[in-house]
Structure 1
Amino acid sequence: MTESRAELGQRGDEDLTDWLVRIPKAELHLHLEGAIPLDAMWELIQKYGGDPSLPSVEALAERFQFRDFPHFLQLWIWKNQFLREYEDFTYMSQAFARCLAQQNIRYAEVFFSPVRFVDEGLEIPRLFESIRAGLSSTPEVEVALIADLVRDYGPDRALGTLRDVNEIKDDGIFGIGLGGGEHNFPPELFPTVYREAREMGFRTTAHAGEAAGPPSVWGAIHELGVERIGHGARSGEDETLLDYLVEHQIPLELCPISNIKTGVIDSIEQHPVRRYFDKGVLLTINTDDPMMFGNSLVDEYRALIEVHGFTKDDVKTLILNAVKASWLSDERKEQLVGEFAAELE
């Protein structure tokens, strides 16, 4: 039976939060380096001498207030300076996995950007080995890794990173993605990278329709041949594109609160998630960088219910969409859909 927004409200905020925490969830658009729990990030900063301008964890949370998308990217780079040794990546991954378990997120496909740390002298195989060691501490959470090739380094560097990652593909690296600045590094620069990635057996996604508009999404589809669109929030600026997404059921990895925090969309009330859902776009809901945005997957679904009138059945559909749009094997996907559906009854 479907519960209306009013009925959910009558049950009280605490009951709604309890339900959202309790139900099984999956997430497909989550950056490991942006998802370190704040207290763990604080400890890493202290390890490397601290920062006088950040006297507390609360001050660190305040630091992550963004003027716009470029400012967000600046702060993303800033926090990476506190990830210097392999043990830092294990520590980060342990804390991250525990955080997923606390939210009952059973399955996640997680971006990691090795190229920035290779420039600091670390090696890709040991980076992923260190991450896997941390993730293994929480076996109840299943995590597949996506290598973010980072478009800002250009196509030649992306191709080199891809080939390095291919050497350790069997270590749980399912796919590749392309984050960073869409405007200066559009999809049209990277078709060779994506063609080679598919030949290697990688699954593919790319950030598009976030800071840039519909042309970025069209480019990701036609030039890169992606299976999913990372974000895609601005797809609705082109109705023909929305129709195409519906017709071909290309999943969007929507991150509503992220879009507000980075200034891509002015307010949660103005976010097009409801319109896309009603039109039949295959949507998944994700947090993107929860440490930096102060959000959780529970917060995302709560906003959909309280602001956009989503029902519990709508939320269940979105959760199952994430499993169906995942890169799990068909057999494992069917198994997980069955498990989730039974618990969501």
Structure 2
Amino acid sequence: MTLKLPKAELHLHLEGAMTPDLVRRFAARNKISVADGLFDENDRYIWSDFPQFLDSFDGASSVIRTRQDYTDLTRHYLVEQAKIGAVYVELFCSSSHAGMQGLSFDEHLLAVADGIDQAFAETGIIGRIVMTCVRHLGPELAVDVARETVACGHPHVVGFGMGGNESMFTQKDFYPAFKIAADAGLGCTTHAGEVQGPESVWDAIDHLPVDRIGHGVRSIEDAKLIDELARRGIVLEVCPGSNIALSVYPDYASHPLRKLYDAGVKVTLGSDDPPFFHTTLADEYQRAQDVFGFSKEELRGITQTAIAAAYVDGETKAALWSRV
């Protein structure tokens, strides 16, 4: 087992960490009903394709209504990761999503920061925030998110990113938002090369100030792109369990994690939206060993790659290096 191996995660959507137990707990606390058909008899989320996954995600996260909910969710996820050897986690946080639940940017931010601080005090795990815009909500709203992210100046906010529907707009359309974040010293990452092909990764690395790509696995379809990613040291935040669950690849034998690594591309392991995809960060590390043939030293190297690519300050990074 890889349980004791030090781990670090750079790709986790906070609302996507909602377990069925937390959904029920928050719903009861907020006196709202859980959506019908959300879980099966084995207490697993029910969905069969990407649109249904989004519906399931929205149904679960709709029970998050208060600062306390976000604090509890953050603390719960980080404490659970500390139990399996994680030393560092970056949380993708969507102020736009929190806003739909009636929380201001600052309320959402401070709630997550409280959860990070509580988990650190309890276990020593270090969590940080990558504030994300939502692609399908458009470039103008992304600029607003970037401005608020920069203006907040909170030490736990270390990066800026983008998720959402890859088929809408182009990466280049979001350059103004990313420039605001990058000019303020925030690290930048964006989802690409998951639903869309290698052209979406080219669009990102040619037009945005990013040094990491969320997923990026379909880069394997373009040998020139693979060479460029390796040459520039761009890190791919790879989430194999998510890719299989969402049918980006039909099975693990088809997944390019090992090929990307062997081609010299820097990769990390993430769980994306773990309870929805029936995976965990521990599962991802274990699967990398059992299915993809990574040795424990190679897995330790993947953790070191994640620490090197983390958007955390130098002093904290040095403390993390000492643990991996």
TM-score category (smaller protein): over 0.9
Structure 2 counterpart of 1:24, one-letter code: P
Please tell me whether residue 296 in structure 1 is matched to residue 280 in structure 2. Answer: yes
Structure 1, unpaired ranges of 5+: 1-15, 341-345
Q: CA deviation at 1:203?
A: 1.0
Change (3 A) 1:117 1:314: same
Q: Could you give the per-residue CA deviations for residues 142-170 of structure 1, whole angstroms, max 9, x where no partner exists?
A: 11100111111100011111112222132
Give the TM-score normalised by structure 1. 0.87
Aligned partners of 2:214 and 2:238 also within 8 Å: yes
Change (3 A) 1:58 1:290: farther
Q: CA deviation at 1:336?
A: 2.1
Distance in 2 (CA, whole Å) between partners of 1:28 and 1:290 is 13
Distance in 2 (CA, whole Å) between partners of 1:173 and 1:58 is 39
Distance in 2 (CA, whole Å) between partners of 1:30 and 1:89 is 14
Please tell me whether residue 106 in structure 1 is matched to residue 90 in structure 2. Answer: no
Which residue of the partner structure matches residue 96 of structure 2?
115
Q: CA deviation at 1:24?
A: 1.6
Q: CA deviation at 1:171?
A: 4.1
Distance in 2 (CA, whole Å) between partners of 1:130 and 1:249 is 34
Which residue of the partner structure matches residue 72 of structure 1?
53
Which residue of the partner structure matches residue 32 of structure 2?
49
Classify the secondary structure of the residue corresponding to 1:299. helix
Q: CA deviation at 1:55?
A: 9.2
Structure ID, larger Rg: 1
Classify the secondary structure of the residue corresponding to 2:163. coil
Alignment partner for residue 137 of structure 1, among 87, 95, 118? Answer: 118
Q: CA deviation at 1:57?
A: 8.1
Which residue of the partner structure matches residue 193 of structure 1?
177
Which residue of the partner structure matches residue 9 of structure 1?
none
Which residue of the partner structure matches residue 224 of structure 2?
240
Identity of aligned pairs, percent? 32
Please tell me whether residue 26 in structure 1 is matched to residue 36 in structure 2. Answer: no
- Which protein is richer in helix relative to its size? 1
Give the TM-score normalised by structure 2. 0.93
Please tell me whether residue 126 in structure 1 is matched to residue 110 in structure 2. Answer: no
* Structure-to-structure mapping, 1:1-345, within 5 angstroms: 16=1, 20-47=2-29, 48-51=31-34, 53=36, 60-63=43-46, 65-67=47-49, 69-139=50-120, 140-340=124-324
Structure 2 counterpart of 1:80, one-letter code: S
Aligned partners of 2:38 and 2:56 also within 8 Å: no
Structure 2, unpaired ranges of 5+: none
Classify the secondary structure of the residue corresponding to 1:290. coil
Aligned partners of 1:40 and 1:95 also within 8 Å: no
Give the root-mean-square deviation of aligned CA atoms: 1.9
Distance in 1 (CA, whole Å) between partners of 2:35 and 2:70 is 24
Out of 40-49 and 82-91, give the one that drifted further: 40-49
Aligned partners of 2:71 and 2:111 also within 8 Å: yes
